[in-house]
């Protein structure tokens, strides 16, 4: 089972996950990070910024989870731009070592395979940061995604386009298609951190953690992974049946186990 950590605030979650990333980079300077976009991981990137001084991050590598199809990389809402603005520049990472799937129409037919090859050549992802959509998606693996899926083009469901319209001028500007790491790709990362904040995520979190393992709720794929840490605030934890047990288990966890 995933370890569930219920924290007081998104900022506290950020500090927790950032500490783990710092530990990883200290032990492995060319660590491979799996980077999520959207609002959820921002407290992690913010906390990392505060922690990173003095650490050599010049060899850190990274792979974004997903990208919109047909959006120019220079568009402010392309995930390439978002990762550059939120992660690469503030943390001083080498942009050449940070990858996003290529959403250009011209090469889209083999962009998924190209991305899988790049991840494999990097030796796989050490630590994957994940958010979860209200549809239960992780990456942009919408309901019905295969647990064996690899990086490929998907069609966003209407709910996700509505959710993401806040980043664009209108919902009509939100691309219809995306290219995303598959559930099978995500499950190969060595350590998954799934984060969620706010009541709007409570049903998706409960489904992913305690519900049946089903492609109808793609986040439930995490139940198949041997090393998952779910970090949620009280609101996102509010529909978890065993929340008290998770609190008790974490409070009494042997220190040597780490996260």
Q: Please give the residue ranges that form the binding site for ligand F6R (CB under 6 A).
A: 36-40, 65-66, 131-133, 137-140
Distance in Å, CB of 63 to ligand F6R, minimum: 11
| Cα 179 from Cα 112, distance rounded (Å) | 7
Distance in Å, CB of 252 to ligand F6R, minimum: 30
Nearer to ligand F6R by C-beta: 59 or 162?
A: 162
Nearer to ligand F6R by C-beta: 63 or 246?
A: 63
Q: How far is CA 145 from the centre of its chain?
A: 16
Q: The tokens of 117 are what?
A: 């090859």
Distance in Å, CB of 140 to ligand F6R, minimum: 6
Residue of 98, 259, 99, 244 whose CA lies nearest to 194: 259
Nearer to ligand F6R by C-beta: 60 or 131?
A: 131
Nearer to ligand F6R by C-beta: 60 or 100?
A: 100
Distance in Å, CB of 251 to ligand F6R, minimum: 27
In three-state form (DSSP H/G/I as H, E/B as E, the rest C), the secondary structure along 119-162 is HHHCCCCCEEEECCCCCCCECCECCCCCCCCCCEEEECCHHHHH
Question: Nearest residue by C-beta to ligand F6R?
Answer: 131
Residue of 84, 61, 103 whose CA lies nearest to 189: 61
């Amino acid at each position: 089972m995933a370890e569930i950590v219920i924290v007081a605030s998104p900022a506290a979650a950020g500090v927790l996950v950032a500490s783990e990333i710092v530990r990883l980079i200290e032990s492995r300077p060319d660590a491979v990070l799996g980077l999520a976009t959207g609002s959820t991981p921002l407290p992690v990137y913010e906390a990392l910024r505060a922690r990173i001084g003095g650490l050599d991050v010049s060899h850190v590598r990274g792979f974004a989870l997903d990208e919109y199809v047909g959006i120019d990389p220079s568009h402010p809402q392309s995930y390439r731009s978002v990762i550059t603005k939120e992660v690469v520049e503030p943390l001083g990472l080498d942009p050449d070592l940070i990858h996003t799937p290529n959403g250009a129409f011209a090469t889209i037919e083999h962009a998924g395979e190209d991305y899988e090859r790049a991840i494999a050549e990097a030796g796989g992802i050490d630590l994957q940061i994940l958010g979860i959509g209200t549809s239960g998606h992780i990456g942009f693996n919408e309901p019905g995604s295969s647990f064996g899926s690899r990086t490929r083009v998907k069609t966003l469901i209407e709910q996700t386009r509505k959710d993401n319209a806040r980043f664009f001028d209108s919902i009509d500007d939100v691309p219809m298609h995306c290219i995303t790491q598959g559930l099978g790709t995500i499950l190969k990362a060595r350590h998954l951190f799934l984060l969620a904040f706010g009541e709007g995520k409570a049903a998706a979190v409960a489904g992913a953690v305690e519900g049946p393992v089903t492609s109808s709720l793609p986040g439930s794929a995490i139940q198949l992974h041997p090393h998952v840490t779910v970090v949620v605030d009280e609101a996102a934890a509010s529909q978890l049946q065993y929340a008290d047990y998770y609190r008790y288990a974490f409070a009494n966890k042997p220190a040597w186990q780490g996260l």
